[in-house]
Amino acid sequence: MTYETILTETRGKVGLITLNRPKALNALNSRVLAELVAAVTDFGSNADIGAMVVTGSEKAFAAGADIKEMQALSYADAYTQDFFVGWEDFTRTRKPIIAAVAGYALGGGCELAMMCDFIIAADNAKFGQPEITLGVMPGMGGSQRLTRFVGKSKAMDMCLTGRMMDAQEAERSGLVSRVVPASDLVEEAVKAAAKIAEFSLPSVMMTKEAVNRAYETTLGEGLRFERRLFHSLFAFEDQKEGMAAFAEKRKPNFTNR
Ligand code: CO8
C-alpha cells in the first residue's frame, strides 16, 4: 500500500508511524484509518520489529475525526457504513504501541492515543473530548477509555464541558505515563520502544495481553489469567536464557523461542 496520510520508518527494532495530514491537523479520515491499520499490521508481522510508536506533528497529534468527512452523513450512512469499525483492528495489534503526543489530541485523536498501550506526552500536549461542542459525543471509545484512565469525575468534566487538559494535568490524572520536552518527544518514545523491543517478544506480548485483560475482567479472573500466562513462559527458551544471564551477570540473548 502506498501511504498518503502517514509516514513510516524503522529505527532499529522500532516501527515509527507519523500521521501526516498537516493541513488538517492530522484529522482522522477513512484513508488515515486504513493506512494506520495497514502500517501496524505490517510492523506487527515483521519479525525484525519489537514495538511501535505512533506520533503526529509538534502542533497536533490529531485534532479528531475528520469533521468535514462526517458532516453530511445521515444516520443510515453512519450506521450501515460503521466507518470507524477498523479501529478495532488497530487495537488487536499484539506488539506494544506507544503514542507520542505533542500538541492537540482531541476527540478521535485523544481516543487513538488511548487505544495505544501507553502515552508519552510532550509538555505542549493538550487532550480533550470536544465532541459535545459539535452536537455529538465521543464515538471511538472516549467515554469508556477516558473514564477508566482518569475516573468518572474528570471524564465527565472533559466529555461534558469539552475542555482541554494540559500535559501536566494528564500526567497527574494517569492519562499519560510521562511528560517530556516537546523537542525530545519522538526520541524519548523511540528510546522507550527500543527498550521494550530488546526483551523477549513472547513475554512482551503476554504482558500487554495481561494488562489489557485487567480492563475487561474481575480481579480473580485476571489473576488466574496472569498466572496461566506466567506459567506458560517457562515453556520458552527465553525464560532459561533470561534467568541464566542474570545468574551469570551477563546480558541475555533472547531469541523469541
Ligand atoms: N476535522 C477536519 N478538519 C480539521 C479538524 C477536524 N477534526 N481539526 C482541524 N481541522 C482543520 C481546520 O478545518 C483547518 O482547515 P482549513 O485551513 O482548511 O480551514 C485546519 O485544520 C487548521 O485548523 P484551525 O485553523 O482550526 O487551527 P487552530 O490552530 O485555529 O485551532 C483546533 C486548532 C483548536 C484544534 C481546532 O482546529 C479545532 O477545534 N479542531 C476541531 C477539534 C474537534 O472538535 N475534534 C473532535 C472531532 S469529532 C471526533 O473526533 C469524533 C470521534 C468519534 C467518531 C466516531 C464515528 C463513528
Listed residue (61, 68, 1) closest to 35, CA to CA: 1
Of ligand 1's atoms, which has the minimum distance to the CA of residue 25?
A: 21
Catalytic residue among 15, 64, 108, 142: 108
What pLDDT was estimated at residue 182?
Answer: 98
**Tens place of pLDDT for every residue, the chain, 257 residues?**
799 999 999 999 999 999 999 999 999 999 999 999 999 999 999 999 999 999 999 999 999 999 999 999 999 998 888 767 788 899 999 999 999 999 999 999 999 999 999 999 999 999 999 999 999 999 999 999 999 999 999 999 999 999 999 999 999 999 999 999 999 999 999 999 999 999 999 999 999 999 999 999 999 999 999 999 999 999 999 999 999 999 999 999 999 99
Q: Which of 65, 125, 167, 170 is catalytic?
A: 65
DSSP-derived secondary structure letter, 136: -
Residue 65 catalytic? yes
pLDDT attached to residue 1: 79
Q: Is the beta carbon of 130 within 6 A of some atom in ligand 1? A: yes
- Rounded CA-CA distance 173/170 in Å is 5
Q: What pLDDT is recorded for position 235? A: 98
Question: Out of 15, 60, 122, 131, which one is annotated catalytic?
Answer: 131
Residue 230 CB coordination number (10 Å): 14
Q: pTM for the whole thing?
A: 0.97
What is the Cβ-side half-sphere exposure of residue 208, based on CA atoms within 13 angstroms?
A: 22
Position in ligand 1 atom list of the atom nearest CA 59: 29
Q: What is the pLDDT of residue 257?
A: 95
Q: What is the ipTM of this complex?
A: 0.97
| Residue 113 a catalytic site member | no
